[in-house]
Amino acid sequence: MTKDTAMTEYTPPKVWTWEAESGGKFASINRPIAGPTHDKELEIGKHPFQLYSLATPNGVKVTIMLEELLAAGHKGAEYDAWLVNIGEGVQFGSGFVDVNPNSKIPALMDHSITPPQRVFESGAILLYLAEKFGAFTPKDPAQRTEMMSWLFWQMGSAPYLGGGFGHFYAYAPEKFQYPIDRFTMETKRQLDVLDRHLAENEWFAGEYSIADIAIWSWYGQLVLGRLYSAAEFLDVGTYKNVMRWAETIDARPAVTRGRMVNRAFGDDLSMQLHERHDASDFDTKTQDKIAK
């Protein structure tokens, strides 16, 4: 390593103690314990589903799914989407922790049944909605099994992309070559896994499904240049099959709407719908219209 990229030698103590923030963009919300930090009840709207989220890749999975369900005619999928600003620690409020004890977005409450059902973890929410409405999941047993395999692949692989590559490349307070190289290599290996499958398949499990929604929200947005400003660094154009697949999904109107919901960042205010309580909100309540 060069002088600029060398890492300071660190000897771990026998017992780790939390003495200070670790640094980085999200340091203020990191802590080694669970549970609420303050009392705060969650708001509840008029629709069967109450979503508490932010338009991160994991959050986008669920809003895309809900918009796809509505576009497919499933009126029972109407939902209220409440903004959870993780930078302000909203996810540590008592009401949110009751829905998701892990204090991570997204979190969903289904009020169409008694008692209401909580669902947390984005993959679990996708599967819950797919089974509830019998949609975006293949009926063929072999294809359904393939879908499940790819869904769980995404859930297990994305931490290397987000918490690994994304953290050290974009968010860590200092740039070090070793972790960036380590997680870049893994991210590119994962993109190659996807590219090889998509060379012979239009979708991940025979038809457009929650596996595609889950994987697109991370890897599709990555190759489209929407995550970490890393498309050039990763040379994403070499993954031609992933690019074709990502662009096809990106053109779906429900995907565009799903990306807008609970989005509270970015320069394009027309793509920010902080909260969603009615389908008409996309036309009347995006931040560009509210700002006028």
Span 113-139, pLDDT tens digits: 999 999 999 999 999 999 999 999 999
* Chain mean pLDDT for the chain: 94
Q: How many CA atoms lie within 13 A of 273 on its CB side?
A: 21
pLDDT greater than 80 at residue 292: no
The DSSP output letter for 80 is E
**141-257 carries CATH number 3.40.50.10310:** no
pLDDT greater than 50 at residue 1: no
Neighbouring-strand partners of residue 261? 273
Q: For residue 18, what pLDDT band results from cuts at 50, 70 and 90?
A: confident
Contacts of residue 205, defined as CB under 8 A and 6 or more positions apart, other chains included, come to 138, 143, 144, 146, 147, 150, 211, 212
Of 8, 4, 58, the closest CA to residue 218 belongs to 58
Q: How many residues does the chain have?
A: 292
Q: For residue 152, what pLDDT band results from cuts at 50, 70 and 90?
A: very high
CB 82 within 8 A of CB 43: yes
pLDDT greater than 70 at residue 174: yes
Residue with tokens 């949609």: 135
Q: What is the dihedral of CA 208, 209, 211, 215, to 10 degrees?
A: 50
Is residue 277 exposed (0-12), middle (13-18) or buried (19+ Cβ within 10 Å)? middle
Q: What is the distance between the alpha carbons of residues 173 and 169, in angstroms, rounded to a whole number?
A: 10
